[in-house]
Homo-oligomer: A and B are copies of this chain.
Amino acid sequence: MAPEISERAQKVQASPIRKLVPIAEAAREKGRKVIHLNIGQPDIPTPDRMLDAIRRFDEKVLAYGHSAGLAEYRRALVRYYARHGIDVDSENILVTIGGSEAILFAFLATGSVGDEVIVPEPYYTNYDGFASMAGIRIVPLTTRAEDGFHLPAMEQIESRITDRTVGILFSNPGNPTGVIYTREEMEMLKSIALQRDLFLMSDEVYREFAYDGDTPTSVLHLDGIEPHAIMLDSVSKRYSACGARVGCLVSRNQSLIASLMKYAQARLCPATVEQTAAAAAIDTPDSYIDGVIAEYQRRRDICHEGVMEIPGAVCLKPKGAFYLVAKLPIDDGDEFARWMLESFHVDNETVMVAPAAGFYGTPGMGRDEVRLAYVLEEKTLRRAMRILRKGVEVYNQERGGREPTQEKTAMK
């Protein structure tokens, strides 16, 4: 006899990409080269000053740091945010164990078990895991490829609000869609938050990843909603330091920060060495991030153009992050992704994509969509896009020549 595992732990959804991992491994074992468009691990080198700070760590005891984060790092963050027009104090900042813990903390502080948070879909799937931990129900708000995944009208958003709704969570720039909300969209969210007394939780880990000169509006740029605004952040993407696990939660709502400090104290502190490194990274020269943005903008163009060459594909050119969601002339992204790994190759190479259905909370949505991460250097990315286009063609031929949909292929 074995005691029963909790219902929540049994029911929480596994990463939607994970079930494809053994299939990719099997492909590799057959000697096939798999190009990964499915994951968001950047290949950009971590800034030297960050790695140097790790190598220079010279304490004799690797001791606990402050539960709110090292004072030195919080002060550095104040400078960083000031450069982005965000005026906050150290006291507004709680350093977290990656952006991940910032999400969990946001859920814990804003809702009780059974409360609801509205999240535009498709959304970062790991929100589901933290919602399960915190007992929060995510209420998806559908956005569409045809609209470039911008927000629907105010009435549609308000129609999702119930008496259990405590807030709205979104990522901006958006994972998985690459959308950057306009100032007007942010002002609309602000109006809703004020009128309905909701928290606005803005996941801004892709802040720098904005193309064509766009600048995302932070939730902390908005005036008059100080107690409502919670910003979630991370060094993972900005400094190509995903393994550092250093993030933060920023809010001018000091009661919220004070409440969360109790949870922060329970888990003691984020890792000391990486916080020191993150502090050093703050003064990374602009040339580093400018170079990164220029590089990603080129990749974004290659990826988007590659999608647009697939007859029937729908994808507005995304403005930010390093993903896009493309609607493809396929029935089932899950089956297609599997087929690409098991049955298709060009010169012994194939491509792994992330079926987008897993990024939706509404069952049945996104079945003809895939998420592509453009975190590969140009040459490989171009090749990957050609393989993907060919893959869609052959896949449909094998399935009886399904015609591309009549939707307009390039909308921008």
Contact = CB atoms under 8 A, between A and B. Distances in A.
A262 interface: yes
A266 interface: yes
Contacts of A112: 6-8
Contacts of A260: 9
A100 B266 contact: yes
Contacts of A269: 243, 245
Nearest to A10: B259
Interface string A45-84: 1100011001111011111110000000000000000000
A66 to B, nearest CB: 11
A12 interface: yes
Interface residues of A, number: 88
B3 A133 contact: no
Contact of A243 (B41, B228, B239, B271): B271
Nearest to A111: B6
Contacts of A5: 109-110, 253, 255-256, 259
A3 B129 contact: no
A56 B56 CA distance: 10
A65 B3 contact: no
A98 interface: yes
A259 B244 CA distance: 25
Given A243-B272, A245-B269, 18 more contacts: A2-B228, A6-B110, A7-B112, A9-B109, A50-B62, A54-B62, A62-B244, A65-B243, A98-B267, A100-B266, A100-B268, A130-B267, A133-B133, A244-B271, A244-B272, A244-B273, A273-B273, A274-B274
Interface of A: 1-3, 5-10, 12-15, 18, 41-46, 50-51, 54-57, 59-65, 97-98, 100-101, 104, 108-113, 115, 126, 128-130, 132-135, 166-167, 193-194, 197-199, 227-228, 239-245, 253, 255-256, 259-263, 265-274, 277
